[in-house]
């Protein structure tokens, strides 16, 4: 493990090519271990994802040829490798997504669907809950529609012929002792084999390479077949809503937060630009613009994008041999590059699809996680002064059944109003309420707002500040894990004698009951609840193994798994 304190701007050696390693970025941390396994001569690492807890902890999830690593990157001066899962099957590619406190992982190496309980990170472990190859062994990508608690698997193999469609799993908790740790297959969604009114079936078929899904609408990259939008409200019979042939190999895409645009990357042919589609009218999807800004131009221009992500007005792209690239896309007709960090500065030409594989720009701190196939994990800070007010102390805190939001400004210039926006996944934000600004001010201004009805689970909040001329910018994100109508159990991996803590919604009164049941169905512990919002369950000495914690209050029932490893 190594930490490299790079300055803001570095220069490549003049005898190679004149190029800057970084612009408007600072490297906070890097991990690379030469002892890690190598595949194909030079590939050591692959994808990266992130996870943040309500308490403010931030984690980086990094894939390797044989390994999955999780790092605590909350304090970038003291990064800690928390856990490693060594997977027997070697692979070039892994993909990760998180839902609640679970991590889901697939690969093209035959390891199926792996599920990890990230609550175990609090006790210094990465706990594998399950590893299933029942439906597939190999898959290229996954995506989680958090609003609908569904996991989609793309590019899978298996007897169902899943490579020509999507496998859909339910992650919702139910009364049958199933929860996000036990994904339930809903359907294999075979995409239509005949033309519809909205979409023509391409000659190359409907293989899905990558996808973005929200509220049952899937935005799919179909390789050389182009880009398609599908309605999966009924997974057994998905409906095509619109499509666009994009010319190259449509590799991956991401939707703008307002739902109006799609940004897509084409991996082949080499040197294809990032494309932007206007999807405001699904019956008439239109290309808006395209762009590319190679670091090695004018000598070389065929740089290749891999994966795009949108946060606010910025598009973050893992750009293979050009590293992390950040673009301001507030005006899709006039895209500008505002930052970059080259993870492969020794590269002097564009010759392939290695180097910067993935990036994750959704941590509440604003730090960006970046992976490089040769050089490992990077934690990068963006140095962009884009907020037109001097903002201090934006916070979101649970208060009973509500969430209180507060912030202050030390100065304001041309500030019309603030919009508090809320999200359930940290990516898709909707306006919640609006607070007038103070126009022009050189004195501290204090603001308060209230979310009277937080959603169950994690609520992500941010400020959108809007000028009188319509220009806007976003603050950092605050997270509140509001229990809502769900009961929260911690830890679910029990390794010592400390009590298991039960967090209850404030709406629940006395009369509730909790039981712990073993796999034979025998009740081994029971406790009546007296209306407290936090209950300590001191379990008796029990054999190690799997148990089910069952909560009941009036008509409400919830089941969570407990794993005892004392």
What does 471-520 look like in DSSP terms, one character per residue?
-EEE---EEEEE-TTS-EEE-SEE-SSSPEEEE--TT--EEEEEEEEETT
128-147 b/e with 16+ CB inside 10 Å = b? bbeeeeebbbbbbbbbbbbe
CB 533 within 8 A of CB 507: no
Query: Is residue 206 within a helix (H) or strand (E), and if so which, with residue range?
Result: none
d(C-alpha 341, C-alpha 26), whole Å: 8
Q: If we measure between CA atoms, which residue out of 27, 106, 96 comes closest to residue 61?
A: 96
Cα distance between the two ends of the chain:
30
Q: What is the DSSP letter of 163?
A: G
At 535 the three-state DSSP class reads: strand
Q: Based on C-alpha coordinates, what's the Rg of the chain?
A: 24
Q: Which two tokens stand for residue 39?
A: 């595949």
pLDDT, position 9 = 35
CB 456 within 8 A of CB 501: no
Q: If we measure between CA atoms, which residue out of 194, 174, 192 comes closest to residue 183?
A: 174
CATH class of 488-564: mainly beta
Pairing of strands 493-494, 556-564: parallel
pLDDT, position 348 = 79
pLDDT, position 387 = 61
d(C-alpha 128, C-alpha 181), whole Å: 10
Q: Give Cβ neighbours of residue 320 (< 8 Å, ≥ 6 apart).
A: 303, 304, 305, 306, 352, 353, 354, 355, 356, 357
Q: Give Cβ neighbours of residue 281 (< 8 Å, ≥ 6 apart).
A: none
Q: If we measure between CA atoms, which residue out of 46, 48, 47 comes closest to residue 59?
A: 48
CATH number of 389-482: 2.70.50.50
Tell me the torsion sign for CA atoms 156, 158, 164, 166.
negative
Question: What are the backbone dihedrals phi and psi of residue 32, each rounded to the nearest 5 degrees, phi first?
Answer: -160, 130
Domain ranges of the chain: 389-482, 488-564
d(C-alpha 229, C-alpha 301), whole Å: 31
Which regions of the chain are under pLDDT 50? Answer: 1-19, 507
CB 472 within 8 A of CB 466: yes
Question: What are the backbone dihedrals phi and psi of residue 121, each rounded to the nearest 5 degrees, phi first?
Answer: -65, -30
């Amino acid at each position: 493990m190594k930490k490299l304190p790079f300055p803001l701007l570095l220069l490549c050696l003049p005898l190679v090519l004149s190029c800057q390693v970084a612009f408007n970025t600072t490297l906070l941390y890097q991990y690379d271990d030469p002892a890690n396994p190598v595949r194909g001569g030079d590939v050591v690492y692959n994808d990266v994802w992130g996870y943040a807890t309500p308490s403010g902890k931030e984690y980086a999830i990094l894939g390797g040829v044989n390994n999955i690593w999780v790092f605590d990157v909350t304090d970038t001066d003291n990064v800690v490798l928390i856990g490693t899962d060594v997977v027997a099957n070697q692979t070039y590619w892994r993909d990760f997504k998180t839902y609640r406190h679970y991590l889901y992982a697939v690969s093209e190496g035959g390891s199926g669907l792996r599920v990890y309980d990230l609550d175990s990170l609090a006790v210094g472990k990465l706990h594998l809950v399950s590893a299933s190859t029942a439906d597939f062994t190999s898959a290229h990508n996954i995506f989680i529609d958090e609003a609908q608690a569904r996991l989609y698997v793309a590019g899978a193999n298996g007897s169902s012929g899943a490579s020509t469609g999507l496998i859909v799993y339910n992650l919702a908790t139910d009364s049958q002792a199933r929860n996000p740790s036990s994904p339930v297959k809903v359907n294999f969604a075979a995409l239509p084999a005949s033309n519809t009114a909205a979409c023509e079936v391409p000659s190359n078929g409907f293989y899905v390479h990558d996808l973005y899904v929200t509220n049952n609408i899937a935005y799919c990259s179909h390789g050389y077949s182009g880009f398609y939008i599908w309605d999966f409200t009924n997974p057994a019979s998905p409906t095509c809503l619109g499509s666009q042939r994009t010319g190259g190999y449509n590799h991956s895409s991401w939707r703008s937060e307002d739902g109006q645009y799609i940004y897509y990357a084409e991996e082949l042919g080499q040197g294809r630009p990032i494309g932007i589609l206007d999807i405001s009218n699904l019956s008439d999807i239109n290309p808006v613009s395209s762009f590319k800004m190679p670091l090695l131009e004018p000598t070389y221009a065929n740089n290749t994008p891999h994966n795009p992500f949108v946060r606010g007005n910025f598009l973050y792209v893992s750009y293979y041999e050009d590293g992390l690239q950040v673009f301001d896309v507030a005006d899709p007709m006039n895209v500008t590059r505002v930052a970059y960090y080259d993870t492969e500065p020794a590269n002097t030409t564009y010759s392939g699809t290695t180097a910067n594989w993935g990036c994750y720009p959704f941590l509440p701190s604003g730090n960006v996680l970046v992976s490089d196939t040769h050089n490992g994990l990077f934690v990068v800070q963006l140095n962009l002064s884009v907020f037109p007010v001097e903002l201090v102390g934006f916070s979101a805190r649970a208060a009973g059944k509500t969430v209180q939001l507060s912030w202050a400004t030390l100065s304001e210039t041309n500030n019309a109003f603030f919009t508090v926006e809320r999200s359930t996944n940290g990516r898709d934000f909707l306006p919640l309420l609006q607070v007038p600004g103070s126009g022009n001010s050189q004195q501290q201004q204090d603001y308060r707002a209230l979310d009277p009805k937080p959603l169950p689970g994690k609520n992500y909040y941010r400020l959108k500040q809007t000028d009188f001329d319509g220009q806007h910018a976003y603050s950092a994100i605050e997270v509140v894990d509001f229990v809502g109508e769900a009961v929260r159990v911690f830890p679910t991996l029990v390794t010592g004698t400390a009590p298991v803590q039960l967090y209850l919604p404030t709406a629940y009164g006395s009369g509730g009951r909790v039981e712990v049941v073993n796999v034979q169905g025998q009740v081994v512990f029971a406790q009546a609840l007296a209306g407290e919002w936090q209950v300590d369950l001191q379990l008796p000495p029990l054999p190690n193994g799997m148990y089910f914690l069952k909560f009941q209050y009036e008509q409400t029932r919830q089941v969570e798994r407990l794993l005892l490893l004392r």
